[in-house]
Every structure is written in structure tokens, then in C-alpha cells.
Structure 1
């Protein structure tokens, strides 16, 4: 594996840690940060799996370390083995700062940072102790976040709704920042005023996403000459294929891991995202950037994105009939599709570009490293490397 040349010592070494390198919102967020902050930092990506994020990171000039034992398995023994592997990788990387993403990586990374004397920034892409989460998961997640909060140098929430949840944790408000997700622009644009021929949903095929609800609602809406394209991979794929063939045979296409999501969105006339709970989903921002009308679950983070429904349709709960009605409304009104798409694109341009997110994140890095003079950073690197 080629290693990019060393950067000047004045640039902080930042280790990005994420549980899985597969395609997903958090992974796209990390890839965008690596690209936007290139030249300011000396980055290393540490990730489980063998997904495309590793390639994106290398293209952005980052060193990459694959952690084969890091995954979403619930086994304590495997988590311990993954932690030992992570400690070794961090000692070799000797970072000035660790930036963790996703729950398991966020947990292991904060403990590792505490042991190595390295500050940790944790971006929570959506707390798992929301009321909509299963009770056992909710209790376990709250307990873990409560215990790990004191080990968090800085906490980044991607939506104001997540910040409100963080208020229940034992971490000072001064160490919490709200940095809403942002994405870079692309030239790909949709034509939502055209006849409705394609609706797209981009999501990992696993909880909390509700591709099953999307399929049932699409079938119930009975839209003539229209297909539903679901882009993404995940453990529910086989079950979803079976469901689609049962309720909407030949009308639902599973596109898998799409390399060019902007092009796919530009080929559609509407976008939908059904989910039990969310943080601040990038897929909705991608649809807004494309100028697509959005129908999405009425959840706090999505409300922030769609300005309380000013530039999209918010669908309550898991009401299949309400979802079908929303799709029928979009199908029957080309003017509505066009106006919502135009409003969504304008809001994205005002609020959700990549540069503001990157600048705000860079400011958090500086705050996390504040007071760590070069000598202190060198001592921490020495501790991390075991020398």
C-alpha cells in the first residue's frame, strides 16, 4: 500500500476511527472531511471491513489501517480483541488527536485515547438511546454514553435535536458543538417537473432504516409507470427482495452500492427516506442538493433539514397509508414536485455546503488541542508509541 509523503510536523496528526468502511452516511462524512481538510492535517484512517472508504481516504492523501477485528458484533470477547488491535494501531500512528465516528468505534476510541493520553473528538451521527429505539438497545446505549462522556474531549452533534439528547450526559455544555452535516456540490441536477418515472431511496438495508415500509407504501400507492430504486447494501437485502416481489413485482429495483449517487438522484423525480430514527441523514442532503422533492419520516433531524416541511413532505411515524398518500400527492402534482425541489436545492445551498462543516470541525480540533504545546504533544506521541 503506497504511503503519502510525510507532512510538516506543524500539522496535527489526526486519526479517524470508524467501525466499518462500507458505504454509508458516516463514511461519506469522514471521506468529505478528509478531502476538505487536506493540507491542514496529517490524517490516518483506521476502520473495520474492507469497503470503499479506504480507497476514498487514500485518494484524499490519508494513510489507511484496516482493523479486521473491528465490526458491529456484540461479542465482548471480540470487542476486547478489537480494542487490543486498535491500541497497537494507534501507538504506531501516534496521533495528536483521535476523531471517532459510529457507536462502537466511538466507545473503543475514547477508552484508547484516555489510556494513551490523546484527546478524542466524538461525532455522534445519531444517539442510539432515542425513544424510538428498542428498549434493550436504548438502555445499553444510554449507559455506555453516560460512562464514556467524561472521556470525550469534545462532542460533535450533527443536529440540534442530538444536542438536546446530549444534555442528559455528564459532559459540560462548553465541550459540545452542533455541526450540521454538509456536502460538496456536484453538477448533477434532477428534473422533478418531468413525469414521475422513478423514486429513489438511498440507505443501508438495516435498522433503523425502513426500506420495508418504503416498499409497502410504494406498492400501496399504485403509481403507474413508476419504479422504486433502492440504493444500498445490508443484511436485510434478501428479505426485502422477497417482499418486493410479493407486493410490487418487477417495480422495485435494488441497485446495490451505487458508485455515482448524484447521477442516480438526477435520474429520479422524487426521493424518499423511511426510518425509525435518524440523526441528520446525508442521503436527504444529497437529494436536496440534486433539487429533488423529498418525502421523509417526520423525525427531529429531518425536520431541521426540511425546515419543518417547507421544502419537503414530512410523513408521521410508520403509517403506511400516510406514506402512500404522500407518494400519490407527489405523483399527481408536477408543480409541487418542482417547487419543493427548488426550495430544497436553495436551502441546501444556503445551509449545508461542505466548507462550513469543515471549518467548524477544524475549529473543534483547535479547541481540543488547545494548551497542548508542541512538547506536550511530543510527550503524548511518545506515550502512544510506547517509547
Structure 2
């Protein structure tokens, strides 16, 4: 366990102190979301990041001025013993940080954070980036996730859902309706803009190579589509990457690139003329928002959260649940109609401006913090 930039026990401060907790510090949508929150909370609150792993989120947090606490025992392992030892480490870290509020993200950190907050009498805000018991998930995962969420639901002072579809799932848990808020993900603007009406030369998907993402469906659809002089770029990393590289070499040799984790996602998207995302289930994917911000035409799986982002034939094209021929047909449709690509891209950009900016999300999140603290007296900021 490594605690950087912290005194043995944090001293009282007139400003709110928030502990942001996530299971892994790797690159991902939830991690990007925390990075944006840390950035937007500068000047408003003291912030502390608690996370496992050795990923780039720690560097992002340091640049925002947040304090860093690396949790060596926090990971995605399903071992009960690892969970118990991670909880002990987390409780000790929270005693050291002495936050007024815990904002927990991701399933395991969300579970342990709620237990630790209950033990230390620190209010917990839990952001659900996508419930794992949604109907599209495997049945064993659904059962386990639902049982865990049911037991832990009462321990959260407030629950933030990133989409209305997630709120509907949350209402099936023992959480009062007035403790559930929907705050759509928001991201900051950039200067990078795509030119989707230009000849189709590059299609991009940004995702981790792991469930629930389906890069295999995108590879198969791209390989069967009648696309000339066009490459597919699959940006990201993860346990399935090698298998996907082999599949790409088999089906479309030399036409699919795997650049790994890309630091400048906005620049990559600006170099493309279309964006695609295939997934088994989603909350409100940040990668789609990044594509909308760039002004790209989007092709995506027709899932509840994505339907809230993208109107079919308005801001993009939605395809039945990982229907590979459907994805292929959508790719061919965009390839043959530059005017459609431009119109969808412009509409997607306008929708992002109206609904998914960072300031809107920050203000709504701050309001939830105030409400959670009003329900639970402010912590004494000394070890419990």
C-alpha cells in the first residue's frame, strides 16, 4: 500500500474532502470519468484518489492536484479472502485520508466502499456505470451481481445512475427513489473535429478488449462489408487483444490496426470518418460521447443506454444486438453516402453540446454531494 503526498492523518480543512474510489487505475470509461471529476473539482474541494493497480489514472490525478493512495490488495479477483484483505486496507486508508465523503465507482470498489463507509460512518455516493445484472448479461453474472447490489444498496447515501435505463434497474433494489439520481456522463470539449463527409478512409472503435465489448463482431462486419481503401482502427488493450489480432489477420489481413491504448483519443477520432461500437451491454459509454464530440457519424449496438445518446437515423445508426450482417450493412450505408455521414456527425455534435458537457455533469454531481452530506452529519476527520 502506497500513500503519496499524505500526512499520517489528514488534518481538518474548511473545504470539503472527497475520496474517489475505483477498483483499477487502468484506462477505461469509469477511470476517464473520475479523471474529469478530479479536474472539475479543483478549487471546490480537496480530493483523494484511492485505487488499485498501477495505471495512468494516478498520473491524471496528480496533475489535478489530488492526493494519491495506492491500494495494493484492491483488484478484480473474485476471491473472498482478497476482498476481506482489500476491505481492511481500504478502511485503514480512509482513516488516514479522513474524507467527508466517499465517491465510489465500479462494482468491487463500489461494494467495498459502501461497507467501509458504513463502518466509518462516512457517507458514500455510488456511481453505477452499468449494473451487471441487466438482462443482456450472462445469467450467472446477473444472479451474483443482483444479490450483491441488493444487500449493499441500503449502505449508499446516494446512488448516481448514468442513464435512465440504469435508474429503472436501480428501482428494483431496496433504495428509496429520492436517493437515486440520473446524471449523464459529461466530457470536456477539445479543438479536434472530424470531417465525416470526407471520403471514408478510417473507421474507429475505442474500447477495452474484454467483455462486454464485442470487437469480434466489428471485425467480422468490417471484413464482410464492401469497403474499399478503408481501414479499421481498434484502439485499446485488454485480455482479448491477441485473439482479436489473430481474427483480424485471418479475415481482413493488413486492413485492421491495433494501436493499443492511445493517449490522444480526440485526435484519433478526428482523423476518422465514422465510429463504431459493438457491445453486449452498456451503461452510457464515454467512447460514444467522445465520437459525438468529434462530430462523427456513429454506428452502435441498439442498447438502452446508447439509445439515450443516439437517436437512430438522427445522430447515428443503431444495429440490433450485435447483428454482424446489420453492422456490415450500416458500414456500407455510411460508406456510400457522404452527405449522410456529414448530417449524422453534425447532429451528434449538436446533441453532445446540448446534453453531455462536463460543466452540466459537474454541477449535478456537486448537488448530489451536498444532499448526501445533509443526510449524514459531516465526519470529524479523525481516525475512527
Q: Normalising by the residue count of structure 1, what TM-score does the alignment of the two structures yield?
A: 0.96
Q: Which residue of 2 aligns with 1:201?
A: 205
Q: Is the 8 A contact 1:4 1:61 kept in 2?
A: no
Correspondence for 2:233: 229
Cα deviation for residue 84 of structure 1 reads 1.2
Higher mean alpha-carbon deviation, 73-82 vs 271-280, is at 73-82
Q: CA deviation at 1:7?
A: 9.7
Alignment partners' CA distance in 2, 1:350 and 1:172:
30
2:118 to 93, 114, 118: 114
**Aligned counterpart, 1:210:** 214
* 1:268-306 Cα distance to aligned partner (Å, 9 max, x none): 000000000000000000000000000000001100001
Moved over 4 A (4+): 4-8
User: Could you tell which deviates more after superposition, 88-97 or 285-294?
Assistant: 88-97
Q: Structure 2: how far apart are the matches of 1:315 and 1:357?
A: 28
TM score, norm. by length of structure 2: 0.96
Q: Is residue 2:170 matched to residue 1:146?
A: no
Inter-CA distance 7–35: structure 2 relative to 1 (3 Å threshold): farther
- Superposed CA offset, 1:84-113 (max 9, x none): 111111111111100000000000000000
SS at match of 2:19: strand
Aligned length: 380
> Is the CA contact (8 Å cut-off) linking 1:44 and 1:64 kept in structure 2?
yes
Alpha-carbon spacing, 1:95–1:2, altered in 2? closer, same or farther (3 Å): closer
Aligned-partner Cα distance in 1 for 2:314–2:148: 36
Give the structure 1 partner of residue 5 of structure 2: 3
The residue aligned with 2:379 is: 377
SS at match of 1:370: helix
Corresponding residue for residue 195 of structure 2: 191
Q: Which residue of 2 aligns with 1:130?
A: 134
1:88 equivalent in structure 2: 92
* Contact residue 303 and residue 309 of structure 1 kept, 8 A: no
Structure 2 residue 36 is matched with structure 1 residue 32: yes
Separation in structure 1 between the aligned mates of residue 13 and residue 98 of structure 2, nearest angstrom: 12
Give 2:168's aligned residue.
164
Tell me which residue corresponds to 1:12.
16
Deviation digits for residues 7-41 of structure 1 (CA, Å, limit 9, x no counterpart)? 98221111100011111100000000011111111
Q: C-alpha distance in 1, partners of 2:85/2:256? A: 41
**8 Å contact from structure 2 (residues 74, 86) kept in 1:** yes
1:249 corresponding residue in structure 2: 253
Equivalent in the alignment of 1:337: 341
- The answer to whether the aligner puts 1:263 opposite 2:254 as a matched pair is no
Q: Distance in 1 between matches of 2:331 and 2:282?
A: 21
Counterpart-to-counterpart distance in 2, 1:307 and 1:163: 20
Which of the residues 183, 186, 196 maps onto 1:179? 183
SS of the aligned residue for 1:307 comes to coil
Q: Give unpaired runs (5+ residues) of structure 2.
A: none
Alpha-carbon distance in structure 1 between the residues aligned to 2:11 and 2:329: 55
Q: Deviations over 1:47-103 (max 9, x none)?
A: 111111100011111001111211111111111111111111111111110000000
* Equivalent pair of 2:6/2:97 in contact (CA under 8 Å): no
The separation in 1 between residues aligned to 2:295 and 2:180, in whole angstroms, is 32
